[in-house]
Chains A and B, each alone.
Chain A
Amino acid sequence: MALVEIEGLNIAFGARRVIDGLTLRIGKGERFGLIGESGSGKSLTALAIAGLLPETAQVEGSIRFDGAPLPASERAMARLRGKRIGMVFQEPMTALNPLMRVGDQVAEAMRLTETAGAPQIEVPNLFAEVGLELAHAHRFPHQLSGGQRQRAMIAMALAGKPELMIADEPTSALDVITQRKVLDLIAEVCTRRQMTLLFISHDIKAVGALCARVAVMQAGRLVEQGKTAAVLGAPRVDYTRRLVAASRMPKRPPARPPIGTPLLSVEGVTRDYAQGGLLWWREKPLRAVDGVRFAVGKAECLAIVGPSGCGKTTLARMIVGLDTATAGQMRLGETAYRGTDLPPRRRADVSLVFQDPFGSFDPRMTVGDSIGEPLRLLGRIGAGERRARLVEAIEAVGMETAMLERYPHEFSGGQRQRLAIARALVTRPRLVVLDEPVSALDMSVRGEVLALLARLQADHDLTYVIISHDLDMIGAMADRVLVMDAGRIVEEGRPAELFAHPQHPLTRALMAARLPEVA
Chain B
Amino acid sequence: MSWRHLTRHPSLTIGLAMTLVFALTGLASLVWTPYPIGDIAIARRFLAPGGPHWLGTDHLGRDLFSLVMSGTLTSFVIAALAVAIGIGIGVPMGLAAAAWGGPVEWVVLRISDLTFAFPAVIVAILITTLSGPGALNAIVAIGVFNIPVFARVARGGALSIATLDFVAAARLAGLGKAAIALKHLLPNILSLVIVQGTIQLSLGILAEAGLSYIGLGTQPPATSLGLMLRDAQSLFLIHPWLSLVPGLTIVAIVIALNLAGDGLRDALDPRLRREGLSHGAG
- A residues in contact (CB < 8 Å) with B: 13, 18, 36, 38-40, 42-44, 47, 54-57, 89-90, 168-169, 200, 202, 317, 320-322, 344, 347, 351-352, 354-356, 359-365, 370, 373-377, 423
* Bound: A13/B277 CA distance, A: 9
Contacts of B165 in A (CB 8 A): 354-356, 359-360
B275 touching A361 by the CB < 8 A rule?
no
> Smallest Cβ distance from A469 to chain B, in angstroms?
19
Distance A505 CA – B72 CA, assembled complex (angstroms): 76
- What are some 24 contacts across the A-B interface (CB < 8 A)? A13-B275, A36-B282, A42-B282, A43-B281, A43-B282, A47-B280, A54-B277, A54-B280, A55-B276, A168-B279, A169-B282, A202-B282, A351-B172, A352-B168, A354-B169, A356-B165, A359-B165, A362-B166, A362-B187, A363-B270, A365-B183, A365-B184, A373-B169, A376-B174
Taken residue by residue from 146 to 189, chain B's Cβ proximity to chain A (1 for < 8 Å, 0 otherwise) reads as 00000000000000000011101111111100000001100110
| 9 shortest interchain CB distances as A-B pairs | A43-B282, A360-B165, A374-B173, A364-B187, A54-B276, A354-B165, A373-B173, A56-B276, A359-B165
B282 nearest in chain A by CB position: A43
Q: Complex: how many Å from CA A320 to CA B184?
A: 20
Q: Taking A43-B282, A354-B165, A363-B188 as contacts, is the C-beta distance between A374 and B172 under 8 angstroms?
A: yes
User: In the complex, how many angstroms separate the beta carbon of B24 from the nearest chain A beta carbon?
Assistant: 32
CA distance A40 to B282 in the complex (A): 6
In the complex, besides A168-B279, A168-B282, A377-B174, 19 extra interface pairs with C-beta distance below 8 angstroms are A13-B276, A13-B277, A38-B282, A43-B280, A43-B281, A54-B280, A55-B276, A56-B276, A57-B276, A89-B279, A317-B168, A352-B169, A356-B165, A360-B164, A361-B166, A363-B270, A373-B170, A373-B173, A376-B175
Q: How many A-B residue pairs have CB under 8 A?
A: 90
Bound together, the chains give a CA A351 to CA B165 distance in angstroms of 13
Q: For residue A54, which residues in chain B have a CB less than 8 angstroms away from its CB? A: 276-278, 280
Kindly state the separation between the CA atoms of A40 and B188 in the bound complex, as whole angstroms. Answer: 31
Chain B residues with CB under 8 A of A169: 282
Taking CB as reference atom, which chain A residue is nearest B170? A373
For A362, list chain B residues within 8 Å (CB). 166, 170, 184, 187-188
Residues of B within 8 A of A370 (CB): 166, 169
**Quick one: which of A54, A322, A373 has the most chain B CB within 10 A?**
A373
Decide: A347 near B174, CB < 8 A? Known: A13-B275, A13-B276: yes
CB distance from B218 to the nearest CB of A (A): 40
Chain B count of residues within 8 A CB distance of the other chain: 24
With both chains docked as a complex, state the minimum distance between the C-beta of A63 and any C-beta of chain B, in angstroms. 16
Docked CA distance A360–B171 (Å): 12
Cα distance A375–B282 when bound, in Å?
36
Whether B276 pairs with A377 at a CB distance below 8 angstroms is: no
Given the known interface contacts A322-B168, A360-B165, the answer about A344 and B282 at a Cβ–Cβ threshold of 8 Å is no
User: Contacts of A317 on B, CB cut-off 8 Å?
Assistant: 168
Residue of B nearest to A409 (CB): B270
Shortest distance from the beta carbon of A361 to any chain B beta carbon, whole Å: 6
Asked whether, in the complex, the Cβ of B188 is within 8 Å of the Cβ of A56, the reply is no
Contact between A321 and B172 (Cβ–Cβ < 8 Å)? yes
B contact residues around A355 at 8 Å (CB): 165
Complex: chain B residue closest to A442, CB-CB: B282
Bound state CA distance, A202 and B281, in angstroms? 12
Q: A344: which B residues are within 8 A, CB to CB? A: 174
**In the assembly, what is the distance between CA of A202 and CA of B275, in Å?**
24
Chain A, Cβ-Cβ closest to B169: A360
Which residues of chain A are near B275, meaning CB under 8 Å? 13, 56
A426 nearest CB across to chain B (Å) = 9
The answer to whether B281 touches A18 (Cβ under 8 A) is no
Contacts of B278 in A (CB 8 A): 54
Bound Cα distance A354, B168 (Å): 9
Contact B280 A44 (CB under 8 A): yes
The CA-CA distance from A56 to B280 in the complex, in Å, is: 12
Task: Note all chain A residues with C-beta closer than 8 A to B281.
Answer: 38-39, 43
Q: Which of B183, B276, B279 has the most CB of A within 10 A?
A: B279
How many angstroms from the CA of A168 to the CA of B282 in the assembled complex?
9
Most buried by A among B172, B184, B278, B282: B282
Contact with A along B244-282 (1 / 0, CB 8 A): 000000000000000000000000001000011111111
Q: Chain B residues with Cβ under 8 A from A39's Cβ?
A: 281-282
Separation of A347 and B275 alpha carbons in the complex (Å): 41
Are B280's CB and A360's CB within 8 A? no
Q: Which of B165, B172, B175, B281 counts the most chain A CB atoms within 10 A?
A: B172
Residues on B with C-beta less than 8 A from A351 are: 172
Tell me which residues across on chain B come within 8 A of A55, comparing CB atoms.
276
Which chain A residues lie closer than 8 Å to B276 at the CB level?
13, 54-57
Assess whether A377 is in contact with B282, with CB atoms less than 8 Å apart: no
Indicate which residue in B174, B183, B187, B282 contacts A374 across the interface (CB closer than 8 Å): B174
B-side contacts of A347, CB under 8 Å: 172, 174
Contact assessment for B172 and A320 in the assembled complex, using a CB-CB cutoff below 8 Å: yes
Query: Which residue from chain A places its CB closest to the CB of B161 in the assembled complex?
Result: A362
Residues of B close to A200: CB separation below 8 A: 282
Q: How far is the CA of A57 from the CA of B277 in the complex (A)?
A: 9
Q: Distance (Å) between the CB of B263 and the closest chain A CB? A: 19
Are A377 and B173 neighbours in the complex by a CB distance under 8 Å?
A: yes
Residue of A nearest to B191 (CB): A364
**Chain B residues, Cβ within 8 Å of A364:** 187-188
Q: How far is the CB of A10 from chain B (nearest CB, A)?
A: 15
Contact between A359 and B164, CB atoms less than 8 A apart: yes
CA distance A370 to B278 in the complex (A): 27
Note all chain B residues with C-beta closer than 8 A to A359. Answer: 164-166
**Within 8 Å CB of B166, what residues of A?**
359-362, 370
- Within the assembled complex, what's the spacing in Å between the Cα atoms of A252 and B164? 32
Smallest distance from the beta carbon of A36 to chain B beta carbons, Å?
8
Determine the chain A residues whose CB is within 8 A of the CB of B270 once the complex forms. Answer: 363
List chain B residues, Cβ under 8 A from A57: 276
Closest A residue by C-beta to B190:
A364
Using CB atoms, name the residue of chain B closest to A374: B173
Give Cα A56 to B274, complex, Å. Answer: 12
Shortest beta-carbon distance, A87 to chain B, in Å? 11
| Distance between B194 CB and nearest chain A CB, rounded to angstroms | 14
User: Which A residue sits closest to B186, measured CB to CB?
Assistant: A364
Bound-state Cα–Cα, A344 to B173, Å? 9
* A356 surroundings in chain B (CB, below 8 A): 165
Report if A43-B279 is in contact (Cβ < 8 Å); known contacts: A354-B165, A364-B187, A373-B175: yes
Question: Shortest beta-carbon distance, B278 to chain A, in Å?
Answer: 8
**Are B169 and A423 within 8 A (Cβ)?**
yes
Complex CA–CA separation, A18 to B282 (angstroms) = 11
Bound Cα distance from A39 to B282, whole angstroms:
5
CB distance from A326 to the nearest CB of B (A): 18
Cα of A200 to Cα of B164 in the assembled complex, Å: 28
Q: How far is the CA of A375 from the CA of B183 in the complex (A)?
A: 16
Alpha-carbon distance A36/B280, docked complex (angstroms): 13
Say whether, besides A43-B279, A54-B277, A376 and B168 are in contact (CB < 8 Å): no
Nearest A residue to B168 via CB reads A322
CA distance A19 to B43 in the complex (A): 77
